[in-house]
Structure formats: structure tokens, C-alpha cells
Amino acid sequence: MTADEHARFVTAMGDFLASWNLPRATGRVYGRLLLNAAPASLDELGAALELSKGAVSTAVRDLVSWGLARTIPQPGSRRLLIEAVGGFEQLLAASHERTRAFIRVLRDGTDSAEDDHARSRLSEVAAFFESYVDAGEQMLRGRR
């Protein structure tokens, strides 16, 4: 892969995760981690992506919380190495978990609805998202 192809991929990953309301820097860091042959330090990622150490640190926290990266402590040092731990499957699984939380909120809201029409609407929206998660889970099971 050429440097230009590398840069295009990293930018595309940034744009993609930004469409999921994650910071563009988070997507760029993830893209870089996916392309790296070995774990990288915050400094290495910052230099490669021309991002501040703070931006990289925030991006890594986001990626770890989504299950897309892990940190590797270095014995005798405060320095951490970071590596990507999954692909789209991890992203989809994390999205499903967040969607399940959204479904719980919708279901809880049903009790507060003003009338049957509002309760029905909430139930329909919750059922739609449950179908989305079910279809995604079926797809993930087929890939394992």
C-alpha cells in the first residue's frame, strides 16, 4: 500500500466513524491502528496523523470504550502501546449494545406515553430497532 493509499484509508475511516457521531480523529486513529503491523504509542500515532497527544489520547479512550482497541502497558514505564483488536464485527457489536440501551429507554418511555397512539408509536420504534439488532446478530453469528 502506498503512502497516498494509506492516507486515503485513514481519512475514509475518520469520515466513516464521524458519520456515527464519533470524532473524526477517533476514526483516523482507528484507521492507522488497523494498518499498523505492530502496536503504536500515543506519540507515534500523533506524529503519523499530525494530531496532538491529547487528541490521540481521547481517540484511544473512545476506541477502547467501543471495544475497537486495547492498551498494552509497558513494564517499568507509564507509556502505553495501542493496537486495534477488531474489525467491523466489533463495531457492529458495540453498536448493537448501544442500540439495546436505546431500546430499553424506548420501552421505559412507553409507560409515560400520553395515550395509546403514543404508546403504539414507541412500541413500533422499539420493535424496529430490535429487528435491526436481531438481523445484525444473525449476520455476526454467520461470520463466526
CA distances from 69 to 21, 43, 87, 125, 142 (A): 18, 16, 10, 32, 23
d(CA 105, CA 86): 28
d(CA 126, CA 110): 10
pTM across the whole model: 0.68
CA neighbor of 92 nearest in space, from 37, 15, 144: 144
**pLDDT of amino acid 23:** 94
> pLDDT digits over 62-115, tens only?
999 888 899 999 888 888 999 998 666 777 777 888 899 999 999 999 888 899
Q: Where are the alpha helices (DSSP H) in 36-111?
A: 42-49, 53-65, 88-110
- The neighbouring-strand residues paired with 69 are 84
**pLDDT of amino acid 38:** 95
Identify the weakest region by mean pLDDT among 15-24, 86-95, 112-121. Answer: 86-95
